[in-house]
Structure 1
Amino acid sequence: MFILPDPVGSMPEVVKELHEYGLLSGFKINDSKSEILAISPQKHWRRVLSMQYAFRWCSSSLVYLGIRLSPDIAKLFTLNFTPLLEVFKTDIARWSPKYLSWMGRISIIKMNLLPRLLYLFHTLPICIHLSFHKELRMLFSSFIWPNTRPRLKHAILCKSKRNGGLALPDTRLYYYATHLTRVIDWVTGSPEQKWLDLEEAQAGRPMWTLPWLPWSAGKNTDKELSPVGSTLAVWHKTRTKYTLSTYPSPLLPLRYNPDFPVEILQSLATRLADSPNTGVHHILRNGTFVTLEAPDRPAPTFAELFNFHQIKSFLRKLPNNNSLTRSLSSFEILCRRTSPLAHGVSTLYGLLRDLVNEPPAHMSRWERTLNTSITDEVWSSTLS
């Protein structure tokens, strides 16, 4: 696939490179099977290219690696998920009459239907309405219990086997998990994810800051249901629903934070942390502010002390600032990893499923602190 901002000027060079590659490798591009889709106003260049190349022109979408792409992002769901749902209905109608056990039918869903769905979740990080998951749930239920009413609740079927369930896939949680893997990629800055620089250019700030900033700071990235805006929308929904994090979080960034426009001195940042991504967890340790004095370092300068007091003043005035001193949640610990998360979707799916079934006791305390705030005097005495 090639994205050509200047089709008339770039297409001859692309075709030339492909032709030279074909002479060396013995391969040849089939022009009649190659497709072109205009993602911007065509102006005059379609007429020029149509006269020179035998490529097939697509009116509204083209297929690439099994994904139907469209210039209109709002149509991606209709072009990809709706046809897949119809295929699922056809497959299930063909399989339902066969003699299969409960476990056999659930295994078919896990091995045949779920991978196709996860592929779209991965490649198309868009917002999906809850009605789609409800329709899938009804479809799976009709397949597991053909010609009869369900004998077990859907929530029980979706539990893990160790918790008394049958591990039926919950498509809604898998949808959340695929978006949450992108959040972890943002924070860890995995070099394997080549798309991070593109999304950072769209967001206008470093990606590692987005999950920990308030919704008001990131909602402007939700332009035309972009991938960044869609993932942020899912993140802020699951963050509160499953108590994956709070605002403010101990991972709240101090640099690139629109609520804290003060520039942090490089010398102070070096004293606080080895990482250039200075956050609250570098300032607060074990519930108290760190000290700048160290036996192996020179005394802090007046500018560094003043800058440090600016940071402390900002943190004391934050609403619900007592959540800054709590321990990190399971999801936040995953975000602190220095290496990519292996089996990220299955790991996060298991985390969400466990939180649905048995919310940890300490999570409820976080929820109680969301709507409370403390005065500067209590904050000063607690974090002295």
Structure 2
Amino acid sequence: MATFQEYGDYSGFKLNLDKSLALATSSVLRDSWPGPFPLQWASSSFRYLGILLTPRTSVLYRVNIDSLFCSSAECFARWSPLPLSLLGRIHLFNMVLFPKWLYTLQLLPLWLLKRDITKLHSMLSRFCWGGRRPRVALHYLFGAWGGGGLGLPHFRLYNAACLMRFLGEWLSDRQDFIPKFYEKEFFAPWHILSLVHTPHSALPAPLRGSLLLHSLRVIWSYVLDSWNGTPSITRYLPIQGNLQFSPGMETASFRKLASRDFTLLTHVLQADGSLLSWDALVRSGVFSVGDFLAFRQLHHYVRSLPRTALAFLIEDRFAALLDPYLEDGFTVSGLYKDFHRLLGPTDRAVLHARWCQDLGIARDALDLPSLIARIPGVSVNADLRECQFRVLHRGYFMKSQLYYSGYKDSPLCPKCLQQPHSFIHAFWSCVKINRFWRQVLSYVESILGTALPFSAAGLLLDKYEAFRLSDSGQRQFMRRVGVLGKKVILSVWIGETLPSFWDWRNRLHALLLLERKDASYSLRRKRLFLRIWDSYLFSLSPRARSDILNSL
């Protein structure tokens, strides 16, 4: 407290003792404080920078994760009634809730339990599909757009990326995110990389309850097991501080070895997994004549390791993933992308085989990346219909599913049967669709009393300047005209039925009645309603117009 007081005297800041909390790691420490304690004692935990801290690390998981589940459930319940699309719900989760989860996982070394991952994914799926039966499996929504997903975060892989960033500090010998000095003192005399390689039964008893060590060992085994590797032997196995190689603890010869940057086991191994010869180590200046006993100890240790594991150690795919991060530092976003590419839930081989079967081409002839890159600029045809549905739903639809959705095999427009059914054709350039838009625009011209250009930019893309209207209310009215026109076209998207002008006219009037009800709540909304719908109201009969205006 004297140090805080001295700091305040120099800095000009004053410590507010009434609002400051202290957390005792044990009741003995709390009761043994001499004299009155100037701060308030926290009963069981307190929140610091968004994280709930507790005296015992064993309850950190439940306290923080349960709190996140409660806040997530409240947000999902509050957002569920909102009229949002699938993409809108995913974006809402990514912007509001996901940063809270990611922040906690980055600050605390917690490995999420499988049941909690399942519970979270279940809540997320229920929210994304509005409580209805999911139309696409959740794992198809994971990943970036370029990989066929919708940007939904995969929590297991994000969890793995956050923990690997902790471990990356030791792999790269950097100190960007964690206080390595304190951790070295806590785990001394053993090196933490040695502890993650050591089987649980061989760990020192005082370290078995360490939350950090447990989480790092879990992520280490999770990634290595995914590659059929051996978590106990990798190219990052240290020589000094090795729990299973006791001479590496204190012997001066091995301290000298470390001073020459021979710190890992791979530094003294040949390409076939065998130890470098005594002559080679002496010529390189690593060992001198007096270090022959240390060489024999190292030779005996290497011979005790399985040869198959040593061969994997030299050709380590795990190292191929991590080595690029050793120089530039480990980032959660970079690790997540690599993990999703290598460990993601999508079975790419099965998808590849299904695409080849549906497209009727040989496996070697399918160039999927170039096919996906061409999709935005091509029209629907017999070969690319699967790709179009892949883009629209970000999932895999079999032929039976396409059949039940009403999709026709012909690539031609089902309305004019003349041109391919591309998006611009379906919304605008089709002869029969074009006729519908001209009917709509002719009616609007009679309402506004002015000639309007027949513009796709204005009607389809809400480019108000294309109509050259100076009145803001008329511009807002034209926006409603375009939106309702597209809704009518989408209502008869697949099939020979043509969009009806009278369907559009009825939708326009229904929208008027809906906005009239909203306008009755405040004077500002009433003024906005009259500015937008003024021209349309005067096109109605006097009785209909008076009924609407009198209800405001």
How far is the alpha carbon of 1:142 from its aligned partner? 1.0
Partner amino acid, structure 2, of 1:112: V
Quote the Cα distance in structure 1 between the aligned partners of 2:253 and 2:324.
23
Deviating more after overlay: 186-195 vs 129-138: 186-195
Task: Confirm or deny: 8 A CA contact 2:240 2:254 kept in the other structure.
Answer: no
How far is the alpha carbon of 1:252 from its aligned partner? 2.4
1:29 counterpart = 2:50: no
**In 2 relative to 1, CA 301–58 (structure 1 residues): closer, same or farther, beyond 3 Å?**
closer
> 1:194-223 CA distances to partner (integer Å, 9 max, x unpaired)?
521222222221234334444444474644
Give the SS at the match of 1:339.
helix
For 2:43, the equivalent position in structure 1 comes to 59
**In 2 relative to 1, CA 217–345 (structure 1 residues): closer, same or farther, beyond 3 Å?**
farther
Quote the Cα distance in structure 2 between the aligned partners of 1:161 and 1:90.
29
For 1:83, the equivalent position in structure 2 comes to 67
For 1:382, the equivalent position in structure 2 comes to none
How far is the alpha carbon of 1:167 from its aligned partner? 2.7
> 1:116-144 CA distances to partner (integer Å, 9 max, x unpaired)?
10111122213432221111101110111
1:313 counterpart = 2:313: no
For 2:269, the equivalent position in structure 1 comes to 283
Match of 1:105 among 89, 101, 113: 89
**In 2 relative to 1, CA 123–322 (structure 1 residues): closer, same or farther, beyond 3 Å?**
closer
Task: Confirm or deny: 8 A CA contact 2:275 2:302 kept in the other structure.
Answer: no
Quote the Cα distance in structure 1 between the aligned partners of 2:30 and 2:75.
44
Quote the Cα distance in structure 1 between the aligned partners of 2:309 and 2:187.
26
Task: Confirm or deny: 8 A CA contact 1:38 1:71 kept in the other structure.
Answer: yes
Structure 2 counterparts to residues 147-162 of structure 1, below 5 A:
147-162=131-146
**In 2 relative to 1, CA 223–49 (structure 1 residues): closer, same or farther, beyond 3 Å?**
farther
Give the SS at the match of 1:68.
strand
**Which is helix-richer, 1 or 2?**
2
1:253 counterpart = 2:238: yes
The percent identity for this pair of structures is 25
1:146 counterpart = 2:130: yes
Task: Confirm or deny: 8 A CA contact 2:233 2:313 kept in the other structure.
Answer: no
Task: Confirm or deny: 8 A CA contact 1:213 1:252 kept in the other structure.
Answer: no
Structure 2 counterparts to residues 125-136 of structure 1, below 5 A:
125-136=109-120
For 2:525, the equivalent position in structure 1 comes to none
> 1:236-280 CA distances to partner (integer Å, 9 max, x unpaired)?
233313557643223322322233333597678878994141423
For 1:166, the equivalent position in structure 2 comes to 150
> 1:1-21 CA distances to partner (integer Å, 9 max, x unpaired)?
xxxxxxxxxx3x134224414
How far is the alpha carbon of 1:86 from its aligned partner? 1.1
Quote the Cα distance in structure 1 between the aligned partners of 2:286 and 2:56.
58
Quote the Cα distance in structure 2 between the aligned partners of 1:322 and 1:15.
54
Task: Confirm or deny: 8 A CA contact 2:191 2:238 kept in the other structure.
Answer: no
Structure 2: tracts of 5 or more residues without a match: 350-552
> 1:40-68 CA distances to partner (integer Å, 9 max, x unpaired)?
22464457224xx3x32211112211111
Match of 2:169 among 155, 169, 185: 185
Structure 2 counterparts to residues 325-364 of structure 1, below 5 A:
326-331=314-319, 334=322, 338-342=326-330, 344-357=331-344
Deviating more after overlay: 116-125 vs 280-289: 280-289
Paired residues, number = 343
1:14 counterpart = 2:3: yes
Quote the Cα distance in structure 2 between the aligned partners of 1:185 and 1:222.
20
Quote the Cα distance in structure 2 between the aligned partners of 1:142 and 1:279.
49
What CA RMSD, in Å, does the superposition of the two structures yield over aligned residues?
3.4
**In 2 relative to 1, CA 68–301 (structure 1 residues): closer, same or farther, beyond 3 Å?**
closer
> 1:324-371 CA distances to partner (integer Å, 9 max, x unpaired)?
5532224565258553525x111222222222347999xxxxxxxxxx
How far is the alpha carbon of 1:115 from its aligned partner? 0.9
How far is the alpha carbon of 1:100 from its aligned partner? 1.9
Task: Confirm or deny: 8 A CA contact 1:179 1:235 kept in the other structure.
Answer: no
Quote the Cα distance in structure 2 between the aligned partners of 1:274 and 1:236.
30
For 2:221, the equivalent position in structure 1 comes to 236
Quote the Cα distance in structure 2 between the aligned partners of 1:174 and 1:360.
20
**In 2 relative to 1, CA 31–259 (structure 1 residues): closer, same or farther, beyond 3 Å?**
closer
**In 2 relative to 1, CA 340–325 (structure 1 residues): closer, same or farther, beyond 3 Å?**
closer
**In 2 relative to 1, CA 67–300 (structure 1 residues): closer, same or farther, beyond 3 Å?**
closer
**In 2 relative to 1, CA 316–324 (structure 1 residues): closer, same or farther, beyond 3 Å?**
farther
Partner amino acid, structure 1, of 2:179: W
Deviating more after overlay: 284-293 vs 121-130: 284-293
Partner amino acid, structure 1, of 2:235: P
Give the SS at the match of 2:22.
strand
Higher relative contact order (CA 8 A, sep 6+): 1
**In 2 relative to 1, CA 177–333 (structure 1 residues): closer, same or farther, beyond 3 Å?**
closer
Quote the Cα distance in structure 1 between the aligned partners of 2:234 and 2:258.
18
**In 2 relative to 1, CA 82–110 (structure 1 residues): closer, same or farther, beyond 3 Å?**
same
**In 2 relative to 1, CA 220–234 (structure 1 residues): closer, same or farther, beyond 3 Å?**
farther
How far is the alpha carbon of 1:316 from its aligned partner? 2.5
For 1:68, the equivalent position in structure 2 comes to 52
How far is the alpha carbon of 1:150 from its aligned partner? 0.8
Quote the Cα distance in structure 2 between the aligned partners of 1:255 and 1:309.
16
Q: Which TM-score applies when normalising by structure 2?
A: 0.55
Give the SS at the match of 2:327.
coil
Deviating more after overlay: 81-90 vs 264-273: 264-273
Task: Confirm or deny: 8 A CA contact 1:245 1:329 kept in the other structure.
Answer: no
Structure whose CA Rg is larger: 2
Quote the Cα distance in structure 1 between the aligned partners of 2:318 and 2:3.
48
Task: Confirm or deny: 8 A CA contact 1:159 1:165 kept in the other structure.
Answer: yes
Deviating more after overlay: 321-330 vs 119-128: 321-330
Deviating more after overlay: 250-259 vs 174-183: 250-259
Task: Confirm or deny: 8 A CA contact 1:250 1:279 kept in the other structure.
Answer: yes
